[in-house]
Each structure stands twice: as C-alpha cells, then as structure tokens.
C-alpha cells in the first residue's frame, strides 16, 4: 500500500486548479479571437503617439477658397 | 477504513463553489435578454464580437452576484433556502467573494469596452453599481419596494446588449427595459405569496410581511396592468411585428387574467388548494418573459414591420 493516499482535500484543490487553468486558457483564446476579428474588420489600429501623423488625422473638407486656389 | 480529517469544520472550496458565487441561474436570464437586445438592434455585429459581448455582460452579472452574496451572507445564513450557499456554509470566505466580485467586475467592464464600445462598458459598470450598492446595500433592507427597484438591475442587460451594437440608447431598448422592470414585481411577489420565507427573521422588509398579503395581491394585479401597454408598445416600434404583437397580446391577456385571479382570492382559499393559482401565475410569469424575448428574436428573423 502506497504511503500517500489521496485525501478529499487534494481532489478539491485539483478541481480548483483545473478549473482556473481552463478559464485562463479560454480567456487567452477569447482575446486572440477578438484580435483576429478586430484586425480583419479594419478598425483604427494606429493610436496617437506624442506627435500628429497624417495617417490618423481626420480628412478635412476642402473650403471653396482652397478649391479655387488649386484650380 | 477510518476516515480522518486534518481540519475540523467546513471542507475546502471546490471550483464549483466559486461558480455558484456567480449565481449561474440568474446569469442565464442575463445571457438570454442581453443577447436578444444585441441581436435585434439595427446595427449588425460580428458573431464573435456578439458572443464575447454577451459573455462579458454575463460575467459582469456574475460579479454582481458574488458581491451580493458577500454583503448578504448574514441574511443567507438565516434563511433556509440560502443556507447552503458557499459563504454561509463556510466553504468560501466573505473576503474571497468580495475579491472575486471586484476582480471580475474590472475584467468584465474592461473587456466589454475593448470588445464592443465604452458606452456599453460604462453601462455595465453602472448596472453592477446599481445592483450592489443601490439595491443590495441600501434599499433591500430598507423598503418593501426593494423588489421593484432591484428589478431595474435585472432589466438593464437587454439595454447593454443594444448599446453594444448601437453605442447608445433608444426607444426600443428603453421599452425592453420597461418590459422586465414592470414584470419583476408580479413575478417575485407571486413567489413570495407561496414560498413564505422567513424574511422577517432575516430583517428584509418584504411587502407580504410589511403590508400584508391582501395588499400584495392588489399590487400584483396592478403591475400586470401597467406592464401590458409597454409590452404592446414594444411591438409597434421598428423591432416589433405581427408575430411579436400576437404573442404579446395573448401573454398579456393571460397575465392580467392571472393577476386578477390572484387578487380576487383570499388567504383561506389559497391555503385550501395549496396556492395553486399563485403557483400557476408564477410559472406563467417565467414563460411570459422568455416568450416575449423569443418572439423578438423570431420577429427579427422573419423580418420586422
């Protein structure tokens, strides 16, 4: 007979460990899935980073005066 | 074989004890109504984003359940129905429930903001605040109208779902709120009539105890009358249609009739047939809410007005 028998306590602890492990793995999968979906939808992926960049500034309406000047 | 225990008292918690803290049965209602709110909204949402949004709304609901169990542990320990919950039975400490509730609140709100939008996330945070602070901590032990106000917390999920899709609030989502809000009092008071819990011992003012059963019966009928116009009105908005309207007319007629029967009875008649009418109205109220939201889904599927 082995010296270490499994106690009820160990079963309860294992249920917590396995449960938490599955939850964490599921959460990782969820975030990964969300990332894939968001990237495919082409949402704005650039954020403001201390200096203005043309690629993230909103398009400006051309004023009539500017249009005339360009003609 | 001799079974020895290293410690006296309650056994260590299993994973399912922590799941029980999230009130999974309440969560199922949250999942369903939030999903319907999100799905029938006029803005299409990617299915995976919709799935995640509903999941995080449900997680927020679960978090508020854990916080509720943390604060109400003293009540739960007194009432027979709730004595086996994780905290009163000693498997989970109050501090753990508080920590789990606060942690999941932060995760649910942040993730809903990232998955859907920050308006919906703020709405979820407000709902959790409303349920835990306004309802559980403040009003539940103070006024017999606790059920009415607490019902608002249960009525927010379809509005959050709608906000996930549209980023705002509109008449349809407000009417979905009204549907659950005015449905809650008759639902719970019908239950209170035949469950006869020892709320009094626990110090919770229930209408049946503070104002008597006759008043409760009148209130049930009154709320079924108030509820009906909102249910019909929802059918006249852009999310409504003939299918929903037909379902709503039939269910509301039945619910008003049930409320009327409950009001016309006195306690002697109810005891004589073991609260048969009250139990039937309670069961009807479960179908009432489920079928209304199912009808919204079906209506969305076959095409609205």
Q: What is the CATH number of the domain that holds B78?
A: 1.10.357.140
Residue B38 domain flag: yes
Residue B7 domain flag: no
Domain closes at, from B169, B202, B223: B169
Residue B64 domain flag: yes
Residue B5 domain flag: no
Closest CA to B189 of B115, B100, B281: B281
Say if residue B111 is in the same domain as residue B210: no
Say if residue B179 is in the same domain as residue B290: yes
Sorting pLDDT into bands at 50, 70 and 90, what band is A42?
confident
What is the predicted pLDDT for the residue at B4?
Answer: 54
Say if residue B122 is in the same domain as residue B175: no
Domain closes at, from B153, B169, B185: B169
Say if residue B152 is in the same domain as residue B195: no
Calculate what percentage of chain B has a pLDDT beyond 90.
79
Inter-chain touch B48–A33, beta carbons under 8 Å: yes
Residue B225 domain flag: yes
Residue B6 domain flag: no
As a whole number of angstroms, the longest Cα–Cα distance in chain A is 97
Say if residue B185 is in the same domain as residue B137: no
What is the predicted pLDDT for the residue at B1?
Answer: 44
What is the predicted pLDDT for the residue at A8?
Answer: 81
Expressed as residue numbers, the domain containing B77 is: 15-169
What is the predicted pLDDT for the residue at A1?
Answer: 53
CA atoms within 13 A on the CB side of B224: 29
Inter-chain touch B48–A41, beta carbons under 8 Å: no
Please give the C-alpha separations between residue A48 and each of B218, B249, B287, in angstroms, as whole numbers.
Answer: 60, 53, 50
Residue that is written with structure tokens 């919204």 in the block: B296
Please give the C-alpha separations between residue B39 and each of B45, B126, B298, in angstroms, as whole numbers.
Answer: 8, 22, 11
Per-residue pLDDT reduced to its tens digit, A11-40: 888 989 999 999 999 999 999 999 999 888
Sorting pLDDT into bands at 50, 70 and 90, what band is A63?
low
Closest CA to B130 of B171, B177, B176, B170: B177
Q: Global pTM?
A: 0.87
Say if residue B69 is in the same domain as residue B200: no
Where chain B has pLDDT below 70, the residues are 1-10
Residue that is written with structure tokens 């922590």 in the block: B18
Say if residue B29 is in the same domain as residue B153: yes
- Number of structural domains chain B divides into: 2
Which chain A positions have a beta carbon within 8 Å of B18's beta carbon?
A: 16, 19
What is the predicted pLDDT for the residue at B10?
Answer: 65
Domain closes at, from B136, B169, B202: B169
What is the predicted pLDDT for the residue at B12?
Answer: 82
Residue B9 domain flag: no
Cα separation, B181 vs B159, in Å, equals 12
Which of A23, A37, A41, A44 is the best substitution to test chain B (most B C-beta atoms within 10 A)?
A37
Which chain A positions have a beta carbon within 8 Å of B55's beta carbon?
A: 30
What is the predicted pLDDT for the residue at B187?
Answer: 95
Higher pLDDT, B272 or A61: B272
């Amino acid at each position: 007979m082995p010296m270490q028998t499994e106690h009820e306590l160990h079963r309860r602890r294992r249920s917590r460990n396995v449960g938490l492990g599955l939850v964490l793995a599921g959460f990782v999968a969820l975030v990964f899935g969300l990332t894939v979906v968001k990237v495919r939808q082409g949402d704005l992926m650039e954020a403001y980073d201390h200096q203005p960049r043309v690629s993230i500034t909103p398009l400006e309406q051309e004023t009539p005066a500017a249009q005339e000047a360009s003609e | 074989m001799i079974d020895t225990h290293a410690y006296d008292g309650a056994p260590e918690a299993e994973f399912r004890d922590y799941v029980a803290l999230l009130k999974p049965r309440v969560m199922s209602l949250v999942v369903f109504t939030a999903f319907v709110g999100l799905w029938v909204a006029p803005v299409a949402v990617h299915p995976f984003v919709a799935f995640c949004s509903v999941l995080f709304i449900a997680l927020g609901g679960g978090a508020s359940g854990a916080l509720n169990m943390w604060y109400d542990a003293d009540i739960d320990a007194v009432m027979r129905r709730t004595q086996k919950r994780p905290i009163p039975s000693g498997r989970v400490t109050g501090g753990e429930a508080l920590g789990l509730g606060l942690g999941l609140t932060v995760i649910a709100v942040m993730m809903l903001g990232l998955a859907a939008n920050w308006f919906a996330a703020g709405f979820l945070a407000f709902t959790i605040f409303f349920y835990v602070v306004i309802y559980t901590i403040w009003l539940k032990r103070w006024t017999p109208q606790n059920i009415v106000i607490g019902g608002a917390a249960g009525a927010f999920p379809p509005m959050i779902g709608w906000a996930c899709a549209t980023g705002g609030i509109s008449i349809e989502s407000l009417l979905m709120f009204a549907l659950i809000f005015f449905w809650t009092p008759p639902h719970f008071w019908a239950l209170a009539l035949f469950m006869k819990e020892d709320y009094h011992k626990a110090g919770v003012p229930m209408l049946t105890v503070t104002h008597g059963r006759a008043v409760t019966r009148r209130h049930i009928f009154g709320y079924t009358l108030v509820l009906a116009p909102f249910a019909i009105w929802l059918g006249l908005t852009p999310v409504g249609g003939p299918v929903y309207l037909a379902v709503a007319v039939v269910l509301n007629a039945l619910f008003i009739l049930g409320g009327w029967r409950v009001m016309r009875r006195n306690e002697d008649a109810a005891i004589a047939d073991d609260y048969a009418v009250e139990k039937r109205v309670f069961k009807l109220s479960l179908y009432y809410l489920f079928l209304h939201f199912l009808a919204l889904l079906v209506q969305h599927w076959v095409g609205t007005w």
